[in-house]
Amino acid sequence: MFQAISIAAIVVLTAVDQLTKYAAVSILKPNGPKEFLFGLFQLRYAENTGAAFSSFSDNKFMLLILSGGLLLAVLFVLLTKKLDSKFVNVSLVLVCAGGLGNLIDRALNGYVVDFIEPLFIKFAVFNFADICITVGAFMLIGYEIFEIVRETKLKNASEKATEND
Protein backbone atom coordinates (compact mmCIF):
# COMPACT_ATOMS: atom_id res chain seq x y z
CA MET A 1 0.00 0.00 0.00
CA PHE A 2 2.74 2.45 0.97
CA GLN A 3 4.54 1.66 -2.29
CA ALA A 4 1.45 2.71 -4.27
CA ILE A 5 1.29 5.97 -2.32
CA SER A 6 4.99 6.54 -3.00
CA ILE A 7 4.53 6.00 -6.75
CA ALA A 8 1.48 8.28 -6.78
CA ALA A 9 3.47 10.98 -4.97
CA ILE A 10 6.32 10.64 -7.49
CA VAL A 11 3.84 10.99 -10.35
CA VAL A 12 2.18 14.07 -8.81
CA LEU A 13 5.47 15.80 -7.94
CA THR A 14 6.88 15.06 -11.40
CA ALA A 15 3.70 16.44 -12.99
CA VAL A 16 4.00 19.63 -10.91
CA ASP A 17 7.60 19.96 -12.05
CA GLN A 18 6.71 19.50 -15.71
CA LEU A 19 3.77 21.93 -15.47
CA THR A 20 5.94 24.63 -13.88
CA LYS A 21 8.56 24.13 -16.59
CA TYR A 22 5.86 24.33 -19.26
CA ALA A 23 4.71 27.62 -17.72
CA ALA A 24 8.31 28.88 -17.74
CA VAL A 25 8.67 28.04 -21.43
CA SER A 26 5.25 29.48 -22.32
CA ILE A 27 5.34 32.65 -20.23
CA LEU A 28 8.90 33.52 -19.22
CA LYS A 29 10.76 32.58 -22.37
CA PRO A 30 8.85 35.01 -24.61
CA ASN A 31 8.17 37.71 -21.99
CA GLY A 32 11.34 37.85 -19.91
CA PRO A 33 11.93 37.74 -16.16
CA LYS A 34 9.39 38.61 -13.49
CA GLU A 35 10.37 39.52 -9.93
CA PHE A 36 8.44 38.04 -7.01
CA LEU A 37 8.56 37.76 -3.21
CA PHE A 38 9.42 41.43 -2.69
CA GLY A 39 12.23 41.33 -5.21
CA LEU A 40 14.09 38.52 -3.44
CA PHE A 41 13.61 36.17 -6.40
CA GLN A 42 12.85 36.40 -10.04
CA LEU A 43 11.30 33.96 -12.45
CA ARG A 44 13.70 33.79 -15.39
CA TYR A 45 13.81 31.22 -18.16
CA ALA A 46 17.14 29.40 -18.42
CA GLU A 47 18.39 26.24 -20.12
CA ASN A 48 20.89 24.11 -18.19
CA THR A 49 22.75 21.55 -20.29
CA GLY A 50 24.60 20.29 -17.21
CA ALA A 51 23.78 18.99 -13.76
CA ALA A 52 23.85 20.92 -10.46
CA PHE A 53 25.35 24.39 -10.91
CA SER A 54 25.85 23.59 -14.64
CA SER A 55 28.46 20.96 -13.84
CA PHE A 56 29.09 18.46 -16.67
CA SER A 57 27.62 20.91 -19.19
CA ASP A 58 27.05 19.53 -22.66
CA ASN A 59 27.49 15.89 -21.53
CA LYS A 60 23.89 14.87 -22.22
CA PHE A 61 24.58 11.17 -22.76
CA MET A 62 26.64 10.78 -19.58
CA LEU A 63 24.06 12.71 -17.54
CA LEU A 64 21.23 10.61 -18.95
CA ILE A 65 23.00 7.38 -18.01
CA LEU A 66 24.11 8.59 -14.58
CA SER A 67 20.80 10.15 -13.56
CA GLY A 68 18.83 7.26 -15.10
CA GLY A 69 20.92 4.74 -13.16
CA LEU A 70 20.51 6.61 -9.90
CA LEU A 71 16.80 6.96 -10.53
CA LEU A 72 16.46 3.21 -11.16
CA ALA A 73 18.40 2.45 -7.96
CA VAL A 74 16.11 4.70 -5.89
CA LEU A 75 13.00 3.20 -7.51
CA PHE A 76 14.35 -0.30 -6.82
CA VAL A 77 14.76 0.53 -3.13
CA LEU A 78 11.31 2.13 -2.95
CA LEU A 79 9.58 -0.78 -4.67
CA THR A 80 11.44 -3.80 -3.28
CA LYS A 81 12.71 -2.91 0.18
CA LYS A 82 10.59 -2.58 3.27
CA LEU A 83 11.87 0.72 4.59
CA ASP A 84 11.57 0.98 8.35
CA SER A 85 11.38 4.76 8.22
CA LYS A 86 8.59 6.71 6.55
CA PHE A 87 10.96 9.69 6.76
CA VAL A 88 13.50 7.89 4.54
CA ASN A 89 10.69 6.85 2.21
CA VAL A 90 9.52 10.46 1.81
CA SER A 91 13.12 11.56 1.26
CA LEU A 92 13.57 8.99 -1.50
CA VAL A 93 10.25 9.94 -3.09
CA LEU A 94 11.39 13.57 -3.29
CA VAL A 95 14.78 12.63 -4.77
CA CYS A 96 13.12 10.27 -7.25
CA ALA A 97 10.46 12.77 -8.38
CA GLY A 98 13.02 15.52 -8.84
CA GLY A 99 15.39 13.23 -10.67
CA LEU A 100 12.62 12.02 -12.96
CA GLY A 101 11.49 15.57 -13.74
CA ASN A 102 14.98 16.63 -14.77
CA LEU A 103 15.60 13.35 -16.62
CA ILE A 104 12.48 13.96 -18.73
CA ASP A 105 13.78 17.41 -19.70
CA ARG A 106 17.25 16.12 -20.47
CA ALA A 107 15.93 13.23 -22.59
CA LEU A 108 13.40 15.32 -24.54
CA ASN A 109 15.24 18.63 -24.89
CA GLY A 110 18.91 17.97 -24.21
CA TYR A 111 18.73 20.49 -21.35
CA VAL A 112 16.82 21.13 -18.13
CA VAL A 113 14.51 24.13 -17.89
CA ASP A 114 15.36 26.30 -14.87
CA PHE A 115 13.37 29.35 -13.83
CA ILE A 116 13.78 30.32 -10.14
CA GLU A 117 16.61 32.76 -9.51
CA PRO A 118 17.48 34.22 -6.10
CA LEU A 119 18.36 37.91 -6.33
CA PHE A 120 19.52 38.36 -2.73
CA ILE A 121 22.56 36.12 -3.27
CA LYS A 122 24.66 35.02 -6.24
CA PHE A 123 23.30 31.53 -6.85
CA ALA A 124 22.28 29.20 -9.66
CA VAL A 125 18.92 29.35 -11.39
CA PHE A 126 16.94 26.25 -10.41
CA ASN A 127 13.54 24.57 -10.73
CA PHE A 128 10.95 22.61 -8.75
CA ALA A 129 12.71 19.29 -9.43
CA ASP A 130 15.94 20.72 -8.01
CA ILE A 131 14.06 21.72 -4.86
CA CYS A 132 12.69 18.17 -4.50
CA ILE A 133 16.15 16.64 -4.95
CA THR A 134 17.81 19.06 -2.53
CA VAL A 135 15.17 18.74 0.19
CA GLY A 136 15.13 14.94 -0.14
CA ALA A 137 18.94 14.72 -0.02
CA PHE A 138 19.18 16.99 3.04
CA MET A 139 16.48 14.94 4.74
CA LEU A 140 18.50 11.77 4.11
CA ILE A 141 21.71 13.38 5.37
CA GLY A 142 19.93 14.66 8.48
CA TYR A 143 18.41 11.25 9.10
CA GLU A 144 21.80 9.54 8.81
CA ILE A 145 23.42 12.03 11.19
CA PHE A 146 20.57 11.51 13.66
CA GLU A 147 20.97 7.71 13.41
CA ILE A 148 24.75 7.90 13.95
CA VAL A 149 24.27 10.04 17.06
CA ARG A 150 21.50 7.75 18.35
CA GLU A 151 23.57 4.60 17.78
CA THR A 152 26.60 6.17 19.46
CA LYS A 153 24.52 7.09 22.51
CA LEU A 154 23.06 3.57 22.68
CA LYS A 155 26.52 2.02 22.36
CA ASN A 156 27.92 4.28 25.08
CA ALA A 157 24.98 3.51 27.37
CA SER A 158 25.43 -0.21 26.74
CA GLU A 159 29.16 -0.01 27.49
CA LYS A 160 28.47 1.88 30.75
CA ALA A 161 25.89 -0.70 31.77
CA THR A 162 28.38 -3.50 31.06
CA GLU A 163 31.05 -1.72 33.11
CA ASN A 164 28.68 -1.37 36.07
CA ASP A 165 27.79 -5.06 36.08
In this predicted structure, what is the pLDDT of residue 162?
Answer: 73
C-alpha distances (whole Å) from 163 to each of 63, 77, 152, 153, 158 are 53, 40, 16, 15, 9
Q: What average pLDDT score do residues 138-145 get? A: 96
Q: What average pLDDT score do residues 55-66 get? A: 72
C-alpha distances (whole Å) from 67 to each of 38, 42, 56 are 35, 28, 12
The predicted-structure confidence for 83-117, as pLDDT tens digits, reads as follows: 888 999 999 999 999 999 999 999 999 899 999 99
Coil/strand/helix, residue 69:
helix
Computed over every residue of the chain, the mean pLDDT equals 89
Q: What number of other Cβ atoms are within 10 A of residue 103's Cβ? A: 19
In this predicted structure, what is the pLDDT of residue 116?
Answer: 96
Name the pLDDT band for 67 (thresholds 50, 70, 90). confident
Known catalytic residues?
114, 130
Nearest to 135, CA basis, from 94, 96, 97, 99:
94
Between 162 and 21, residue with greater pLDDT: 21
Q: What average pLDDT score do residues 2-22 get? A: 95
Please check the confidence at residue 53 and state whether its pLDDT lies above 60.
no
Q: What is the pTM of this model?
A: 0.86
